Structure 1
Amino acid sequence: MQDLSNIDLFYAYLDLEINSEKDIYRIGLVSLNLTKNFYQENLNQAYEEMRKLKNSNLAVCGHNFRRFDYPYLIEQEPQLSSWHISNKIVRKHLMTFLGGFIGVIIMPLY
């Protein structure tokens, strides 16, 4: 498993990939204890992991999450609609499951 010591203990980073039919076909999830890509055939496992994270009071964040990913997520998994979306983006550089670096910044979004 990758060194995730740079991930803030209070956040889960989530990235959805949506196809042209507006269906989720991949979910990338990074938290302190989990870094995984979930593909279409195992999205139910992803939703289960996200419910665990939500129930452990982690906030969710991600690039354009509130604007883009969130509506698709709650359409597919309404139980996650009350998941707290962070108003901050976590400032770290993470080697991700996508094979690149995500530069994120901890700062209030005004």
Structure 2
Amino acid sequence: MSDILDSYIYLDLEVDLKGQIFSYGLISSAHTFQASQEQAQDVYSQLIHALQIQGTLCGHNFRRFDQVHLTRQWPELESLQIIDTLELSLLAFALEPSHRLQKDYKLSDYASNDPLEDVRATRLLLEQCLKNLGQHPAPLRQLYTWLLTHGETTADAAYRGLFEPLGWLPEAPPAFGDIVKSGVWLGSRRHPASGSYRRCHQPGIHL
């Protein structure tokens, strides 16, 4: 598992009210640093290298937030592959009422964000998501991984790279009968304590 976790570049951006990036947090196998906008070239060099070697970024809510601002500043990075832990958390912890990144370093909601601490929290969340998905019934995990990997986008390619070393890369979706036998209904999850079924909304994923 650690080899998989260490293979990604974890990135978080802090953006002001005008939509301008003012701080970066980055962790990779070779570097750990927080940078201001004046040091943006250091971040850019890391990301260009990742693009050249077909590396993958990992961030929380990255695809819908950070990537928008990142590619506005550096359009050439648009084709970077991205693992988004918000997307994985929605699947791995479907019964949780919130999928916000856990920021234990903040003493209150009014405290400033720390992008370096946020990327550390993102790496931990990725590990937790993979461990929890590994405990899901095999047909449900197969359904989720197939939905995330069967397309031709850079997102599909990123998730194929994540799931293949885990042996989770499906060739086809699971049979409906296998899903029913496993105790999972489409759009629902059996609650582990009560055994009852609860409806789970999965934004952006249509079964």
Task: Please classify the TM superposition score into its range, dividing by the shorter chain length.
Answer: 0.7 to 0.9
Whichever residue aligns with residue 42 of structure 1, its letter is: Q
1:37-78 per-position Cα deviation (integer Å, ceiling 9, x unaligned): 111111122111111122222211101000110010000011
The TM-score, its normalising length taken from structure 2, stands at 0.42
Aligned ranges 1:1-110 → 2 under 5 Å: 8-86=5-83, 97-98=116-117, 102=121, 103-104=124-125, 105-106=129-130, 107=133
**Corresponding residue SS for 2:117:** coil
Higher strand share: 1
Aligned equivalents of 1:21 and 1:28: distance in 2?
Answer: 20
Aligned equivalents of 1:99 and 1:16: distance in 2?
Answer: 9
> Is there any run of 5+ residues in structure 2 with no aligned partner, and where?
89-114, 134-144, 149-204
Aligned equivalents of 1:70 and 1:23: distance in 2?
Answer: 13
**Corresponding residue SS for 1:32:** coil
Aligned equivalents of 1:13 and 1:100: distance in 2?
Answer: 6
Aligned equivalents of 2:67 and 2:118: distance in 1?
Answer: 23
Gap change, CA 1:37 and 1:27, over 3 Å in 2? same
Aligned length: 100
The TM-score, its normalising length taken from structure 1, stands at 0.75
Aligned equivalents of 1:100 and 1:58: distance in 2?
Answer: 17
Q: CA deviation at 1:86?
A: 2.2
Residues 12 and 59, structure 2, Cα contact 8 Å, conserved in 1:
yes
Question: Superposition RMSD on alpha carbons, in Å?
Answer: 2.6
**Corresponding residue SS for 1:48:** helix
Gap change, CA 1:80 and 1:101, over 3 Å in 2? closer
Residues 33 and 116, structure 2, Cα contact 8 Å, conserved in 1:
yes
Residues 54 and 80, structure 1, Cα contact 8 Å, conserved in 2:
yes
Gap change, CA 1:7 and 1:23, over 3 Å in 2? farther
Q: Percent identity?
A: 32
